[in-house]
Each structure stands twice: as C-alpha cells, then as structure tokens.
Amino acid sequence: MTQLREPGFRDSVDIMFNRAVAVMDLSPGLVEKIRVCNSTYTVRFGVRLRGQIHTFTGYRSVHSEHMEPVKGGIRYAPGVNQDEVEALAALMTYKCALVETPFGGSKGGLCIDPRDWEPHELEQITRRFAYELIKRDLINPAQNVPAPDMGTGEREMAWIVDQYARMNTTDINARACVTGKPLNAGGIQGRVEATGRGVQYALREFFRHPEDVAKTGLSGDLDGKRIVVQGLGNVGSHAARFLAQEDGARIVGVIERDGGLWDDAGLDIEAVLAHLRATGGVRNCPVGRFEPVGAELLEADCDILIPAAMEGVINLDNAARIRAPLIIEAANGPVTAGADEILRRRGIVIIPDLYANAGGVTVSYFEWVKNLSHIRFGRMQRRAEEARNRLLVEELERLSADRGLGWTLSPDFKRRFLTGAGELELVRSGLDDTMRIAYQSMREVWHARPDVSDLRMAAFIVAIDRVAKSYQSKGL
C-alpha cells in the first residue's frame, strides 16, 4: 500500500531539489534548466559469449554541463534503468558543486549481474560498452570521465582506459578519460578507500561542532559511538574499518545481502570482512549474533546509522521505526524523499549523500589532475621538504648541545617530522580539507537561515547556488 505513495528515485531527488529552490531567489527558467537532465544515451549491444550472442543494455546520462568534463561512475547491476542513472547523474551535479570539484554531473550503468560472468567475459562486455561510449565522446578526458560505482572497480576502469587508449592512440591525456584506475594504469593512491575515508572525515567534522551534535541528542566525539553499517561493499567496509580502528567507534551491527550481524560490544570488523570475502555473506560468521532478516537492524537502537549500499533502503515502510538519531548517507539516495520528511519531523539528523559520499569523486578529481599533469603528487617537493625539516631538527639539536640544555626530540616525533608528504598523505590532506570546507559551507546556511531546516536542504542550496552562478556567468 505505502509502496504506491513512494515516488521513483528521480522524482525523489527532484522533491529534494524543489524544497531547496523554493527558498532561493532564482528565475523559474533557470531553475528548470538546472533541474532537468540534459541527455541520456541508451545503448544496446551484442557480445558473442558462450556460443551465442547476448544483448546488453547500458546508459550514460549527462545531467548538467555547466562545467566540463562531466563526472560520475558506471554501475553494473541487474536493476539499472534510466530513472536510476538520471537520478544518480543529478546527484553528481550537486555533489561536485558542493565539494568544489570542477565537473558537471553524469552517471552510467549497465544492466548486468557481474556475478553471472567470468572475468574474461566481463572484459569483453566492458570493452564493448566502453567502445560505444567512447565513439560518442561519452568517455573522454575533456568531456565525460567515468569512475567506479556499484559492481565496478579498478579492474573495469583499467579495461576502459585501455580501450580508450587503443581508440585514441595520439591522445596524450588518454589516462584522464576515467578515474578509479589501478596505480599501474594511472590511478592514484587512496582512491579505492576514498569514499569510506570521506565518510569518516565527514563524521569527524560533524563531531567537531558540539552545537550540531546536540541536535542529535548525542555528545562528545566518535569514541564509543554505536554504529550500524548497512552494506559492506567498497564504501561501507572501509568506513566501518576506519571508524572502528581509528576513532574508537563500536560497529554494533552490519547488514549484508544474506542477513545481519550484531554485537553490543562491537564486532571485530576484520573478522567479519574476512568471512565476507571467503563466503560472500555474513551467515555462519564466527563473530556476532546472526540476524536472518538483516533489514531489521536498520531499525535497531544505535547512535549512528550508515546506509552504504543502495538507494531507497530507508523508505515510507520503515522510516517511522528508525531509532538512530543520526544517519549519514554513505550510499547515493538511501533515504527516499518520503522517508526524509518523516525523519525530519522526528528530529533525526541526516548528513546527506551529496556531501557524505563525496570522498570518491574528490579523490577522482585528484587522479584526473595527476593524469593531466603527468606527474605523481609529491614527486617534486617531498625530499626538499624533508631536507628543510632535517635542517631544523639538526639546528635544535646543535643549540641544545651547545647550551647544555639537554633537550631531546623523541624518536617518534623525529621520524614523523622528517618524513615528507608522499602521494597518499597529500590525497588524505586534500580530502580532509575538502570535507571540512564543504561541511562548513552547508552548516553556515543551515544555521544562518531560519527557513532552512536541515543539512540536506542546506547542501542543495549551496550546490544549486554554485551551479546557477556558473550558468549565469557563462550564459546559456
């Protein structure tokens, strides 16, 4: 019954967009131009596999070209459809604007269950799909730069970049045609875990503002907070690991395809991930209590709920029963517009997807810049930085010895101070900075304007305002 009232994903994003523009001073024509999806290309192609021709359907949707290239992942899942890729492309536009990565929004998808195919078959399918997109400039370093999403990863991106390079043998920037590549194919350190890292940095930044934390009824920092993570894919697994191992949070519950696991004392997340890798699920895991109906754990008593799998998992059916006072959307669109309204009325604070999962595209941006500059970050500065720091340490030690002061610098301090920043440290620093600044831009609007009730609305306002300014300055 309630399912009938739930709008589709694309409409859900539009409802959120409309709430924001309702309090903005933009002309209706411009609002419409920003809202609509510029184009969606559908391709059906055949691949000869297992002795017969199989036809696949794929999409690449471009939501906004106010900045180019446009950016967004390619998803492999059986349920991929036009409505979904258009919603995800729109979210990419707002996400990129919010975290100031200079891209428009795009998204692609292929209707396929990757588990049905062998790696060499997936390679053939991916190369064929990439060929269709490349020949229409829907993969191109200057125009449209895909990345991994659900069901794809470094391996697929390596096939795509190779396919592009074969078709554009003289393009010196070929490697910048896609991000999320393995290091040996032009990737960047820290990209794989970037979205999970971004979720951690987002939470850290939220907890730096006691006024904001107070709205959830929680207090203090992340230490000891009880967290439920839904989905232990590339985003959820890294977020859970970082929060447990580096911030002292307790991952009390996890939810996977085949059920959930619970432990009040906090699950040993490495053990859970090892079991998941070995068996493909969480059933029979040696740690935690197994819950056959995993989705029920979304409604469990905890401090922070992290939906990190897919859209629509918190909806009209379960929103009233969610008990977490704080939700951070690590997935794209995990809370439907209807559920969002219910949760808002119940005073639950939501850190919205367009901010919370922007770590992935942020590090994609660094990778793209690295590819265009043809040099690894830190290569020029690292040793110079170390040499200057060494000068300082040696001078301090000389002064101490000359004056008989007896100062000694601890070996740990010296080691850390004398190690210049390499690519990984720089990527983390850039990501941390991005997440802090974007949060501050959202919270400013949230706190300054009485007509802005929540962080999602604030995030949309910041993003739409930036997109609007760029349309206004470039002219249509």
Q: Which helix (H) or strand (E) holds 470?
A: helix 455-474
Q: Which is nearer to ligand GLU, 76 or 262 (CB)?
A: 76
Q: Is 73 in the site for ligand GLU (CB under 6 A)?
A: yes
Nearest to ligand GLU of 151, 253 (CB atom): 151
Helix (H), strand (E), coil (C) string for 239-292: HHHHHHHHHCCEEEEEEECCEEEECCCCCCHHHHHHHHHHHCCCCCCCCCEEEC
> What DSSP string runs through 93-121?
HHHHHHTT-S-EEEEEEEE--GGGS-HHH
Q: Can residue 72 be called a binding residue for ligand GLU (CB under 6 A)? A: yes
Which residue, 14 or 311, has its beta carbon nearer to ligand GLU? 311
Encoded one letter per residue, x for contact with ligand GLU by CB under 6 A and - for no contact, window 167-186 reads: ------------x-------
Q: Which is nearer to ligand GLU, 21 or 363 (CB)?
A: 363
Residue 339 makes CB contacts below 8 A (sequence gap 6+) with: 314, 315, 316, 318, 319
**Does 361 help bind ligand GLU (rule: CB under 6 A)?**
yes
- Give the 3-state secondary structure of residue 413: helix
Sign of the torsion formed by the C-alpha atoms of 337, 350, 326 and 274: positive
Residue 234 near ligand GLU by CB under 6 A? no
Question: Which residues does 316 contact at the CB level (< 8 Å), separation at least 6?
Answer: 2, 3, 5, 6, 336, 338, 339, 342
Least CB distance to ligand GLU at residue 430 (A):
14
Q: Is 360 in the site for ligand GLU (CB under 6 A)?
A: yes
For residues 83-112, b (16+ Cβ closer than 10 Å) or e, as one string? ebbbbbbbbbbbbbbbbbbebbbbbbbbbb
Closer residue to ligand GLU, CB minimum distance, 181 or 344: 181
Nearest distance in Å: CB 391, ligand GLU: 39
Q: Which helix (H) or strand (E) holds 156?
A: helix 154-167
CA distance 94 to 197: 20
> How many C-beta atoms lie closer than 10 Å to residue 81's C-beta?
17
Tell me how many residues contact ligand GLU (CB under 6 A). Answer: 11
Closest approach of ligand GLU to the CB of residue 73, in Å: 3
Q: How far apart are CA 8 and CA 10, in angstroms?
A: 6
Give yes or no for residue 90 binding ligand GLU (CB under 6 A).
Answer: no
Query: Is residue 193 involved in binding ligand GLU (CB under 6 A)?
Result: no
Q: Does 107 qualify as catalytic in the annotation? A: yes
Q: Does 69 bind ligand GLU (CB under 6 A)?
A: no
CA distance 140 to 164: 8
Asked whether position 307 contacts ligand GLU by CB under 6 A, the answer is no
Q: Which residue's beta carbon is nearest to the bound ligand GLU?
A: 73
First to last CA, the chain: 44
Figure out which of the listed residues 66, 71, 204, 238 binds ligand GLU, where binding follows CB under 6 A: 71
Asked if 230 interacts with ligand GLU (CB under 6 A), we say no
Instruction: Pick the catalytic residue from 71, 107, 181, 370.
Output: 107
Q: Which stretch binds ligand GLU (CB under 6 A): 71-79, 113-121, 215-223, 335-343?
A: 71-79
Question: Binding ligand GLU by CB under 6 A: which of 64, 332, 336, 371?
Answer: 332
Least spacing, CB of residue 176 vs ligand GLU, in Å:
12
Binding residues for ligand GLU (CB under 6 A): 71-73, 147, 149, 179, 332, 357, 360-361, 364
Which sequence positions are flagged as catalytic? Answer: 107
